[in-house]
Structures are given as structure tokens and as C-alpha cells.
Amino acid sequence: MTEFEYNQCVTLYADNVFRFIMKNIGHEADARDIVQSAFEKMWRNKQHVITEKSKSYLFTVAYHQMIDHIRKTKKIKIVSSFEQDERVVYQTNNQLKQTLLQALNQLNETQKSLVLLKDYEGYNYQEIGEIMNLSESQVKVYLHRARLQLRNYLVSKENIR
Amino acid sequence: MTINRTNYETYFLRYVDGDLSDAEQLMVDGFVAENTDLATELESLLQTKFVPDTAVVFANKKQLYKKENKERTVLFFTWQRIAVAAAMIGIVFMVGIILPTKDSVHPIVINSTIKNKVADLIPNKESKHPIAINSIEKNKVAELMPTKKSILSNSNKKQPINHYAVQLKKPVIQKISIQKINTPIAVVDDATIKAYDSRLTVKNMELLTPNKALNSAKTDAITLQDHIEKTATANKPQESAEQINKAIVNNTNESSTIIHRAVYKELDTETDNNSLYVGSIELNKDKLRGIFRKAASLLKRKTDQPTDKSFLE
């Protein structure tokens, strides 16, 4: 990978990686740090990185750094999300998007990453497995469980209303 | 595998993920159309699909761009070293050329065309190469020259060089060599020749008296004379006759062929005389002349050009 190709990756994938990390951890500053460290690592190893696989390389590095970050900080967001859910209960279902984001926060780190990699970036099961170090069947099972959980959360909100 | 009410959930989830082929998607659509109660379930699963929020972007991407500056400085230092090494080598080379050595000729030496090699006309027994003579020795060679008559008689036809024919070009200093002892010397007289072989038709042969030959020669002439005397005794007449025939080459048809002592004249065509020494560098005169001529012709053309232009105007 040359200098020009690296800078091209910054232009093409910086927003995607940031969005992915941001939706996972919900903290902008921490997400920027993770994105910067991921690109820094790719720059240091640019001689070994294939340009065609640079996107998956970035997501892989960013994901692992995010996991490390989460384990270090151990932020409990579930409680805060519940409080937000109570506020959402009295709102209309037109705010489906926000409800969905809340439902996303209900998931664990792995399920959340699976859903975001699948829906945001359009990776297939195999590519998601390479990024998250899972087998294809594991990805399929975990993702289906996450979807059902999201569906149940949405349905429950509607039922409560 | 077809969809049914026991495995529809798996198909629905794959449908949401976009993992179904076109045929499978049509199959699921058909199943849902038949089982309308399951349509809401599929719809609820489709609502769990996230859409990227393009409003969320990484601000100030300049912080992420990189430039390879550090590597260039390393290359600079290597080029610097190479340049210094090349300069040192060039200085050493120039010093070696400029400084005169012991063996060099000062200032400009021009080789003379006259060589002072062996003054003797006739080589030793062991020598096999022709002998170079200077201008002084040239006179001695002239003594060995055949008479005018003999030269004229031989010059009518183009004859190959006879081993015994003397060929001299006046302006050129030639080398003279004397044939080996093995080859027979000219016949002494008619009587001796007739005694050995009827094929011999040589007449009016002049005898190169040993005295004339040996004045400027060494003992080889004497040995030649001895050889003739020995052959004359006719112990082996056939052999001596053959030797004589070999000596008289291409002259059997001539009635007035003169056999002389063999000499080889070598023209001075050596190129070593054309060398020119400038310091320790050896230059070729001929090449220098050619270069100067070309330069002169170029200058001449340039001076002639204004005259041509005036003609055109």
C-alpha cells in the first residue's frame, strides 16, 4: 500500500468506521480515538496491507480496539437506556428510529457489532466472521438472535403503548 | 428445500439479511402471500434492519492523512555518501594522470622512423626473422642487387617473389633476410647445373661470389658456399637438383634468369611509428590528423557560408 492509497482509504472509509464505532459505544470522543488509532496502525503496517482488503482491515482493527476500550471502561449503558426507554414509551411509534437505536443498545457487544456490520456496511456472513473472528455459522446464529431480540423489543414497546 | 410453517422463521431472517437467492425470495413471497398471518411477523423483522445515518461523519479528516517524509531523509544521506565517494575517486584518478611517472616520456616524444636494430644483414644461424637495416646498410644491400639486365629481364612478367630475387624500393628502408641454409643457393655455373638435372634451363647465372656476400655477412654465407661445394661433388645429385629447383622458383621458363642470394625486403609499415606520447598517454598520429582535418573542413564551411548567402540574396 502506497501513501496515496492510504490517503484514499481515509477519504473513503473514515466516516464508515467512525459511524460503526459511534453506534457501538455512543461516545464521540472515544470513537474518534479508536478510529485514529485504527488508521495509525494501518499506516504502520501499510507495507503488509493489501489495498483491496483495506476496508475489512480497518473494521477489524477498529472492532478489536473498541472491545478493548469497552472492557477497560466497563460502562453500563443498559440502565441509562432503560430510563430513555421509559421516556420513549410515551412517545409515538413514529420515532421508530430512536426506538430501534434503543433496542440496539439492549444487545451485547457482539450482537450489536453483527447487526451494524450487516446493515451499515453490507458485509456477508463470511466477511463478518473474518472481522470478528467467528465462523460463518456462528455469525448467522448470533445475528438471527439479535434480530429476534430487536423485533421483540419493538413489539413489546408497541404492546405497552 | 421448501419453506413451510416449521422453518419459515429461518427463511424470514435470511430474507431480512439479504442472504436468499432470487428464487428463494420469490418462494418466501409466495409463502407469505398464502399465509397472511405470518406477513406481520416478516414485516416486524424487516423493521429491525438499520439504515446508515449519513449525518454521522468523522470531522477533520486531515488528522488522519499521512506523508512519507522520514524515508526521504535516509535516501538523501546515502546519495551524499555516494557523491563524496565519486568525488574522491575522480580526484585520485586526476592526480594519477597529471603527476608524471618515471617511465613517462617528456615532454612530447616523437618516435623516429629509423630503427636501429640489427645492423647485420645476415642473421645468425639461429635467427629466423628478417633483419632490419638502416640507411647505411642499404648501400651494402645494393651490392647484392642484380644487374640491370637481370632486373629488366625479370620485370617483363609479373613474377612472384623469388626466394632468391632481390626486391628493393628505393625510398623505403627494407629488411633483408637471408634464406635458411636448407634451401639451396644459386647454381655456381652452367656446368654444375647440367650435371644434375636437365630441367634446369638457367643461363647466364651470375655467381654471387662468397666474397661479395660475406663482406657484409657472417658465417652463413660460408656455410652456403660449403653446401654448394658439397652438392657439386654429386654424392646425392638428385637431392641437390631438387634443392636447386626449389631455389629457382618460377623462373624455369626464363632463359636469362638470374639467381641471387635470397633476401627479404620488408616494408616499413609498422604503426608504432605513428604513436605520439603526451605525458603518459599514447595517441595515434593518424587519428589526430583526421580529427584536425575534420575540424579544418568544418571551419572552412563556416567561413564559406556567408558568401553562399550573399549569392542567394
CA distances from B291 to B102, B275, B287, B295, B297 (A): 30, 15, 6, 6, 10
Closest CB to B68: pick one of A3, A23, A32.
A3
Check whether B210 has a pLDDT greater than 60: no
Q: What are the residue ranges of helices labelled H in chain B?
A: 8-17, 22-34, 39-47, 70-98, 135-144, 148-155, 190-194, 210-215, 219-232, 237-247, 285-312
**What phi and psi values does residue B51 have, to the nearest 5 degrees?**
-110, 130
Chain length of chain B: 313
* A59–chain B Cβ distance below 8 A for any pair: no
Nearest to B41 by CA among A147, A92, A105, A120: A147
> With contacts defined as CB-CB under 8 Å, which chain A residues touch B50?
100, 104, 115-116, 119-120
Domains of chain A: 1-75 (1.10.1740), 77-161 (1.10.10.10)
Q: Is B69 helix (H, G, I), strand (E, B) or coil?
A: coil
Cis? peptide before B107, omega within 30° of 0: yes
CB contact under 8 A, A43 and B16: no
Nearest to B208 by CA among B127, B141, B279: B141
**pLDDT, average across residues B222-229:** 52
Q: Which residues of B touch A (CB under 8 A)?
A: 10, 13, 16-17, 19, 44-45, 47-53, 56-58, 61, 63-68
Q: Which residues, 6+ apart, have CB-to-CB distance to B150 below 8 Å? A: B206, B256, B257, B258, B260
Burial of A11 (C-beta count, 10 Å sphere; 0-12/13-18/19+): exposed
> With contacts defined as CB-CB under 8 Å, which chain B residues touch A151?
44-45, 47-48
d(CA A9, CA A50): 12
Other residues' Cβ atoms within 10 Å of the Cβ of residue B183: 17
> With contacts defined as CB-CB under 8 Å, which chain B residues touch A22?
56
Could you tell me which chain A residue has the CA closest to the CA of B20?
Answer: A124
- For position B278, what pLDDT does the model report? 73
* A7–chain B Cβ distance below 8 A for any pair: yes
Tell me the pairing of strands B275-278 and B131-132. Answer: unpaired
**pLDDT, average across residues B98-105:** 62
B96 confidence band (pLDDT: 50, 70, 90) = confident
CB contact under 8 A, B17 and A14: no
d(CA A50, CA A57): 9
CB contact under 8 A, B52 and A22: no
Quick: pLDDT tens for B14-35: 999 998 999 999 999 999 999 9
Does the predicted model carry a pTM greater than 0.80? Answer: no
d(CA B249, CA B161): 9
Mutation for testing the A interface, residue in B11, B19, B49, B58 having most A CBs under 10 Å: B58
B190 or B155, higher pLDDT: B190
Indicate the average pLDDT of chain B.
65
> With contacts defined as CB-CB under 8 Å, which chain A residues touch B68?
3
Nearest-CA distance from B19 to chain A in Å?
8
Quick: pLDDT tens for B257-296: 566 666 666 665 555 567 777 777 778 888 888 888 888 8
CB contact under 8 A, B47 and A36: no
B77 or A13, higher pLDDT: A13
**pLDDT, average across residues A65-92:** 59
Cβ atoms of A3 and B67 closer than 8 Å: yes
Q: What are the residue ranges of helices labelled H in chain A?
A: 3-25, 28-44, 54-73, 78-89, 96-106, 109-119, 125-132, 136-160
CB contact under 8 A, A15 and B50: no
A132-143 burial: b if 16+ Cβ within 10 Å, else e: bebeeebbbebb
CB contact under 8 A, A3 and B17: no
d(CA A157, CA A106): 13
A84 confidence band (pLDDT: 50, 70, 90) = very low
- For position B303, what pLDDT does the model report? 72
**pLDDT, average across residues A121-138:** 93
d(CA B20, CA B63): 41
R_g of chain B computed on alpha carbons: 52
Nearest to B181 by CA among B243, B245, B248: B243
d(CA A67, CA A110): 9
